Structure 1
Amino acid sequence: MIAACDLSLSWKAVLSVSAILTCAIAYAWWPTLSWAERAWRLEPDYSHGYLILPLACVLLWLRKDTFPGLRERCEPVGLLLIALSIAMRIAGRMLYMDFLDGYSLIPLVAGLVWFLFGLPALKWATPAIVFLILLVPLPYRFETGLSWELQGVATGLSTTFLRVLGLPAISEGHTIWVGENQLMVAEACSGMRIFVGMIALAAFWAATVKRCWADRLVLLAAAIPLALLVNAVRITVTGVLYGWFPAGSARQIIHDWSGYLMIPLAAAMLWGLKAYWEKLYRPLEVQTAGEALKRAGDPITKVGHS
């Protein structure tokens, strides 16, 4: 009875400290959080940001059975990560690097978990904490360069697919000519949104599946070519339909709906790959001799009785 009371009090103490620290962090990092939320709201490439925190909580919930429990005392070593986070935030403000300011949230959360719950709890929460990286928009220069490269890949793949379908497709820069129809692969059509979204979805699934690290890396690596393929298929279908419907209003509908449908298509393809890989490489079952005999009906015992 006393142990239960002590445990209840310790949980209350930890929850109270956590609530106070959460309020303090929200106040101190509010400009950073507002900057990230503005990107989620205004930039379609980062609209998935609203889902990252709930999904991180889902990851923790799915791993609740392996939670190592509370420590008897706080671990001051966690303050080193908190100090690193503060240094990153100061550097981000001084150098006008919003992304560095945003990434400072990761060591901050990790340091708090380490300080309050201990190193075993930090290891337990690492998948969810690392997943929070997807909250932060990419650095502008990196995003611009990546988008430019994705435009080029999308243009090349789509031109090849159109030619395979028997259409006279020629690419000039980021423009595809299909007969007399001009198809512009603009920055908005680079596939950046599906690229980032697929990586986020693959990271979530990789963290939830009970597989080895090699299988999880395969799932993460597969998200990149699948995102490129889905975007190229979208542009190819758009190019084909543009030839059938030359009217401006019809083309706008085709453009919009092809963008809507590529998201569930990409998710379905990634899920199909995940299911196929799990079926192809099933984990080995390790059994003791006693378990094997029990599953077989213990034939030795039966023979002895007979």
Structure 2
Amino acid sequence: MSSLLARYIPESIVQFIRQNYLLILGFSILCIPTIADLSQDLWQTPEQGHGPFILAIILWLFYKTNTEGQPAEVRSNNISGAILFFAGALSYILGRSQEIWLFEVGAFIPMLCGLILLMAGSAALKKYFFAISFIIFLIPLPGVVVDALTSGLKSQVSHWAEVLLYAANYPVARSGVMLVVGQYQLLVADACSGMNSLFSLFALGLLYIHIGGYGFSWRGIVLFLCVVPIAFIANVIRVMILILVTYHFGDAAGQGFIHGFAGMVVFAVALIAFFITDFLLGLIFVKKVAK
């Protein structure tokens, strides 16, 4: 078994598993039921379908951070680590027993922070903090919170989709978030407008900035501030395509687009927009070369 691990898994990961196999086993006992329930429930919905994508990013970030090596000096912080871990454990127990996703999934943030403080100290926590913070995007927010944050954006998405298609001579009209095109009526709900993807696009933007190594530079800050406009434009394009597919090919084709390709359209447009924005910012924020 050890030879197989050494052959197919990097040595740093093998060493970590050998040293902490009991801890990994215990933490897996907590993680696996939660992930299994999410995959069978919320991750099956259009609103939370980005969950596996976010989980994959989190695992990759932990792997990437681990391969960068550990801090030279390890000073464990037992008191702070224990407080954070037990606070997270209580949140997990409450969330798991009462079926409150916010508490159950959110509990992994303080538990991980506490474990790292106990095992490796504050320097290691600082090193892994970006990977841990990504769990925020995995937490399913209550519908009331999502509606409060995105209701205005949803209305504007409908408005601009109508304006642009009307300018292209399509018979489209709007009443609130209800769009009428030809003989069809389309309700631009959360799943249609893709506003729930706003949170996953935030994650995509942060990951892009992190991989680019921009950090808190002006280029990184401006690129992060562009996440909302990019998400907005991507969702306008998504709704426009939905309207065009429905108008030309019928309601069944439009519904098939929502469930099959709409999410990919948003992410493809957003990623292209990130590349273009980053390129333009690169022309503005030229790196200073040391003389």
TM-score, normalised with respect to structure 1: 0.76
Matched, 1:130 2:133: yes
Matches of 2:245 and 2:59, distance apart in 1: 42
Matched, 1:89 2:107: no
Matches of 2:278 and 2:31, distance apart in 1: 37
Q: What is the Cα-based RMSD across aligned positions, in Å?
A: 3.1
1:49 pairs with one of 48, 51, 55: 51
Identical amino acids, percent of aligned pairs: 21
Q: Structure 1's 97 and 194: CA in aligned 2 closer, same or farther, altered over 3 A?
A: closer
Alignment of 1:27-46 (within 5 A): 27-39=29-41, 41-46=43-48
Task: Give 2:286's aligned residue.
Answer: 282
Gaps of 5+ in 1: 1-10, 287-291, 293-306
Q: Structure 1's 109 and 123: CA in aligned 2 closer, same or farther, altered over 3 A?
A: same
User: Does the 8 Å contact 2:85/2:115 carry over to 1?
Assistant: yes
SS at match of 2:226: helix
Match of 1:21, as an amino acid?
L
SS at match of 1:283: coil
Q: Tell me how many residue pairs correspond in the alignment.
A: 275
Match of 2:165, as an amino acid?
L
User: Does the 8 Å contact 2:81/2:118 carry over to 1?
Assistant: yes
User: Does the 8 Å contact 1:85/1:107 carry over to 2?
Assistant: yes
Q: Structure 1's 141 and 18: CA in aligned 2 closer, same or farther, altered over 3 A?
A: farther
Matches of 1:20 and 1:61, distance apart in 2: 19
Gaps of 5+ in 2: 1-12
Alignment of 1:59-208 (within 5 A): 59-63=61-65, 64-65=67-68, 67-69=70-72, 71=74, 74-76=76-78, 77-92=80-95, 97-146=100-149, 148-208=151-211
Task: Give 2:6's aligned residue.
Answer: none
Matches of 2:257 and 2:68, distance apart in 1: 47
Match of 2:175, as an amino acid?
E
Match of 1:234, as an amino acid?
R
1:268 pairs with one of 262, 269, 272: 272
Matches of 1:43 and 1:252, distance apart in 2: 14
Compare 156-165 and 256-265 and name the one that shifted more. 256-265
2:231 pairs with one of 196, 204, 227: 227
Q: Report which of the two structures shows the higher radius of gyration computed on alpha carbons.
A: 1
SS at match of 1:46: coil
Tell me how far 1:254 sits from its aligned partner.
Answer: 5.7
Q: Structure 1's 22 and 236: CA in aligned 2 closer, same or farther, altered over 3 A?
A: same
Compare 226-235 and 39-48 and name the one that shifted more. 39-48
Tell me how far 1:50 sits from its aligned partner.
Answer: 2.0
Match of 2:36, as an amino acid?
S
Matched, 1:211 2:214: yes
Matches of 1:180 and 1:22, distance apart in 2: 57
Matches of 1:256 and 1:101, distance apart in 2: 28
User: Does the 8 Å contact 1:62/1:208 carry over to 2?
Assistant: no
